[in-house]
Amino acid sequence: MKREKLILAVTVAAALLFVPFNGHRHGVPEKSFATVHAVSAPLSPYDSIIRSYADSIGWDWRLIAALIRQESRFNSKVISPGGAVGLMQVQSARYSQETLMDPEQNIRIGTRYLKKLEQMYSAASRLDTIKFALSAYNMGDGRLSRLMADAAESGKDPRQWEEVVPLWHQSRRYVNSILRLYDHYLLTQPSALRLRVLSDTIPTN
């Protein structure tokens, strides 16, 4: 009898380990579980600054973090061969190199520019708007405008990013790389605002 009870107890315990998570996990309510896992390792030394300025332009901070990771690998002192400086690789004659190497100033200037680019494009969806802004950040708005004009001349929809940026174009790889990083950050930095940046309910101005 004792042996049968022992076998039963082991079987029940093993089964509980493989019960699908549906509101509770190992007896922890879903809300508590989310709260515990939201306190995860930081993405960078600049998370609080990124959060603040991302909020100011209505973007998910994890997407801005993904862009910064792509641009500089969170190195605030890096200077590109073309003269782009700091975390967001800002290139501007208006600011000194010292200013652009300051993490907060760099993120402030970079996110403000990103918002300006976002407002320049009337796209088919919120996601297309984000992709256009990221592409323009990468290649410049002049080059992107020419691609949009080429797409329109070819009978394609210039409001759809997939129709505008060719498969071979470096900017397509750039944007897709940032969005893959963003997907990863969504898993490592969960939030009630998950995927909100891709929602069409987010205002664009």
Residue numbers annotated as active site: 71
Q: Name the token pair of 182.
A: 């963003």
Whole-angstrom distance, CA of residue 129 vs CA of residue 149: 16
92-102 as b/e: b if 16+ CB within 10 A = eeebeeebbbb
The CA distance from 13 to 5, in Å, is: 12
